[in-house]
Structure 1
Amino acid sequence: MPVVNRIADFAEDMKTWRQHLHTIPELSFDLPQTAAYVADRLREFGVDELHEGIAQTGMVAIINGQGSGPTIGLRADMDALPIAEETGADYASGHAGKMHACGHDGHTSMLLGAAKYLVETRNFRGRVALIFQPAEEDGGGAGVMVEEGIMDRFDIGQVYGIHNVPNLPVGDFVTTSGALMAAVDEFHINIQGVGGHGAMPHETNDPVVAACGIVQAIQTIVSRNHYTQQDLVVSVTQIHTGSTDNVIPDTAYINGTVRTFDASVQAMVMRRMQEVVAGQAASYGVEAKLDYELGYPATTNDAEKSAFAVDVAREISGTDKVDPEGGREMGAEDFSYMLQARPGAYLFLGQGDGAGLHHPKYNFNDEIAPIGASFFARLVERAQPLS
């Protein structure tokens, strides 16, 4: 069974919704225009319940099926990124310095398409909980929605999400049973030295040299402190210090990211980074403070639900276009919080050639919206069949 025929009938509607959302990108939890537009569409469709104001601008819409049964959750993220758009599209961002550079406008339109179909047909038992989430890019909106009790409040038993992937063929699905995406942490190191004249370094405790030493030493955590068959990334991404060529500054700042799958590896990195920072600071005669911040946990698919989602994806796109064990990656996703709360699965959906995610020329391919909407709809109909 390919794309659901009825969903194909309103492909143009999904395109219209998506392109309008593209013109009004908003960030993090502050999505008033986006949330209002989504809520208006859901009311037009005739959802049975609409619960707004969850995690500030998130919402959960309930669609009742025919007869009693469990509740399945489907999630779409709605927030954009602080990037100046360069697509040149006639529906380009109308909000300066903000754009939908990750396709959340497309994810939202796909879930709206599934909602319209499910309201019309109700070819399932129990209920569907449509989760429209803010702050995936920044703030962990999925975690906030879970903390605010959506899983228990709406009795959600399983939950699913998808994300588009540029430069993967249109309609291809990829996922992995178990860990799919990494946990993401960040670290901040503030170094306090004694500055002075660049010609008289002997009168200073140079934080620049200390920063260089710390950065070099941090790299040994990956090369010398962990088992090579366990995935780990430690990347220093910022160093800020100094203001001119002939002044040794007082302070330096280092920032970076850590990506792991295993909690024991994560704990080792935290311990070793503290030891490295303290040891290097002592050796250079400066003070250094490490702030290590835990971020999104690893995104881990339930084995049974992953297999079920793969079967549904094959129904939509064909067996040869679905990779059930495509490997894991070091990117992160706050859908992980929902998968910690309930069993479910997260899949990637190819959208064809084009600029990559988070690029100023990225644009969601509207051709895949009916595919994603059909996947969501068939998940419901097969998980909670009438017969």
Structure 2
Amino acid sequence: MKTNTVDIDIDELVALRRDIHANPEVAFDEHRTSELVAAKLQAWNIETHTGVGGTGVVGVVHGLRGKGRTIALRADMDALPMQEEGVPMHRSQRAGVFHGCGHDGHTAMLLGAARHFSGHRDFAGTVVLVFQPAEETGGGANAMLADDIETRFGYDEIYALHNAPHFPPGTFGVLDGAMLASCDEVVIDIHGVGGHGSAPEKTKDPVMAAAQLICALQTVVSRTIDPSATAVLSIGSVHAGSAPNVIPSHAALTGTLRAFDESVRAQMKSRIRTICEGIAMTSECAISVAFRNSSPATINHREQAQAAARVANDIFGAPSVLRDFAPLNGSEDFSEFLLRRPGAYALLGQGGVYCHHPEFDFNDEVLPLGVRFFVALALDRCAA
């Protein structure tokens, strides 16, 4: 299908995107967004399923030419729990909630594809439109999978497209194999014995234990993992105490652990536990460690990644389709879908500041490119 035949109302698409941006909702609270998505699908006479995995929405478009393959396209809908510092006319109307990762744009692009398919059903097969909640917490994909999305909608392959500020507008990127790292939140709780700062010998100091842990944990990557492997361990928060002359009884550390290889991921977890056990012994504090909100690495299937690149060549032009770049250390729970069905995760260049920056905004100029890619890819794979 030639890209210039895709039915896109750019004004409507931009208005939708900016409306979602102005009314952001965090994980599993995407009620307004889900209602907007469902209302649009229903208005376009698309079979609509709500409440999938909590606040997820699924649209189904059956081609008029009968039996063919079933291809799923996925967009994430949730925003971040952070304050927007940019000043667009459509800035967030909710304090402390912000579409700082471009999920408003992803949702708008998939709605754009839905609008096209609503009026152009002359194809064989079925397109499944997956609007996922709670990507940022890593729980939305598993919630939809637990709600039996695979067997209910019977898709053969699944694809997702994410904006990429580090690529210029009009470029497209997809890799065979690893695209994104795994991610585990590391939560460490330290329980000691509090007391007066003037009598530390009567305490079991969790602040001291926390300080030792922060330093010791830096050896997990530098002294445990093969230098040729890629791994990152970052401690992002430290909480302890409330007064300068009091040694508290509790301290807590949180961070993230990222890797591309499951054996490296397991090795890092084991080493973190061992370090916590050692510091617990020397500090005489009780230390527990937990790994939460985990997502495996996002690993593209080769055939599907190659198909995505082939389709993108016709839309972006071959020189603008990137096939050789470093995988990103960010993570995505789309990885959970790829563990169970073939598919691929691709990147749409948009320029600007990076995702999760307080002044981030999705680049509306690339919306039509995303719609055209989704439409062309679905038609290509339905017919494969």
User: Which band: TM-score by shorter chain?
Assistant: over 0.9
The range that moved more, 12-21 or 194-203, is 194-203
CA spacing shift, 1:98–1:295, aligned 2, 3 Å: same
Matched, 1:289 2:288: yes
- The Cα of 1:139 is off from its aligned counterpart by 4.5
- The Cα of 1:266 is off from its aligned counterpart by 1.6
Separation in structure 1 between the aligned mates of residue 151 and residue 182 of structure 2, nearest angstrom: 25
Q: Please name the residue that 1:253 is paired with.
A: 252
Within 5 Å, give how 1:196-215 maps onto structure 2: 196-215=195-214
Write out per-residue CA displacement over residues 146-192 of structure 1, whole angstroms, 9 at most, x where no aligned residue: 12111111110000000011242112111211111111112222212
Separation in structure 1 between the aligned mates of residue 164 and residue 203 of structure 2, nearest angstrom: 51
- The Cα of 1:119 is off from its aligned counterpart by 2.1
| Residue pair 2:182, 2:259 contacting (<8 A) in 1 also | yes
| Residue pair 2:79, 2:98 contacting (<8 A) in 1 also | yes
Separation in structure 2 between the aligned mates of residue 87 and residue 197 of structure 1, nearest angstrom: 45
| Residue pair 1:207, 1:286 contacting (<8 A) in 2 also | yes
Separation in structure 2 between the aligned mates of residue 83 and residue 339 of structure 1, nearest angstrom: 29
Separation in structure 2 between the aligned mates of residue 343 and residue 97 of structure 1, nearest angstrom: 37
Separation in structure 2 between the aligned mates of residue 286 and residue 154 of structure 1, nearest angstrom: 51
| Residue pair 1:177, 1:325 contacting (<8 A) in 2 also | no
| Residue pair 1:3, 1:370 contacting (<8 A) in 2 also | no
Matched, 1:265 2:260: no
Within 5 Å, give how 1:207-356 maps onto structure 2: 207-293=206-292, 295-352=294-351, 354-356=352-354
The range that moved more, 263-272 or 298-307, is 263-272
Specify which of 361, 364, 376 is matched with residue 362 of structure 2.
364
Separation in structure 2 between the aligned mates of residue 242 and residue 121 of structure 1, nearest angstrom: 62
Within 5 Å, give how 1:133-148 maps onto structure 2: 133-148=132-147
| Residue pair 2:137, 2:293 contacting (<8 A) in 1 also | no
Q: Please name the residue that 1:116 is paired with.
A: 115
Within 5 Å, give how 1:143-182 maps onto structure 2: 143-182=142-181
Write out per-residue CA displacement over residues 90-126 of structure 1, whole angstroms, 9 at most, x where no aligned residue: 2222222212111111111111111111222224211
- The Cα of 1:46 is off from its aligned counterpart by 1.9
Within 5 Å, give how 1:181-196 maps onto structure 2: 181-196=180-195
Q: CA RMSD in A?
A: 1.7
- The Cα of 1:5 is off from its aligned counterpart by 4.1
Separation in structure 2 between the aligned mates of residue 317 and residue 2 of structure 1, nearest angstrom: 12
Query: Structure 1 regions of 5+ residues with no counterpart?
Result: none
Corresponding letter in the other structure for 1:42:
L
Identity %: 42
Q: Please name the residue that 1:4 is paired with.
A: 4
Write out per-residue CA displacement over residues 14-63 of structure 1, whole angstroms, 9 at most, x where no aligned residue: 1111111112111111111111111111112221x111110111111111
- The Cα of 1:84 is off from its aligned counterpart by 2.0
SS of corresponding position for 1:4: helix
- The Cα of 1:3 is off from its aligned counterpart by 4.3
Matched, 1:46 2:45: yes
The range that moved more, 205-214 or 369-378, is 205-214
Specify which of 29, 53, 57 is matched with residue 55 of structure 2.
57
| Residue pair 1:25, 1:100 contacting (<8 A) in 2 also | yes
Q: Please name the residue that 1:385 is paired with.
A: 383
Separation in structure 1 between the aligned mates of residue 343 and residue 80 of structure 2, nearest angstrom: 27
Within 5 Å, give how 1:19-34 maps onto structure 2: 19-34=18-33
| Residue pair 1:146, 1:341 contacting (<8 A) in 2 also | no
> How many correspondences in the alignment?
383
Write out per-residue CA displacement over residues 204-234 of structure 1, whole angstroms, 9 at most, x where no aligned residue: 2222111111221111111111111111111
- The Cα of 1:240 is off from its aligned counterpart by 1.3
Separation in structure 1 between the aligned mates of residue 3 and residue 333 of structure 2, nearest angstrom: 28
| Residue pair 1:28, 1:139 contacting (<8 A) in 2 also | no
- The Cα of 1:134 is off from its aligned counterpart by 0.7
CA spacing shift, 1:75–1:230, aligned 2, 3 Å: same
Corresponding letter in the other structure for 1:261:
F
- The Cα of 1:2 is off from its aligned counterpart by 7.4
Separation in structure 2 between the aligned mates of residue 292 and residue 60 of structure 1, nearest angstrom: 30
- The Cα of 1:199 is off from its aligned counterpart by 2.7
Q: Please name the residue that 1:376 is paired with.
A: 374
| Residue pair 1:186, 1:257 contacting (<8 A) in 2 also | yes
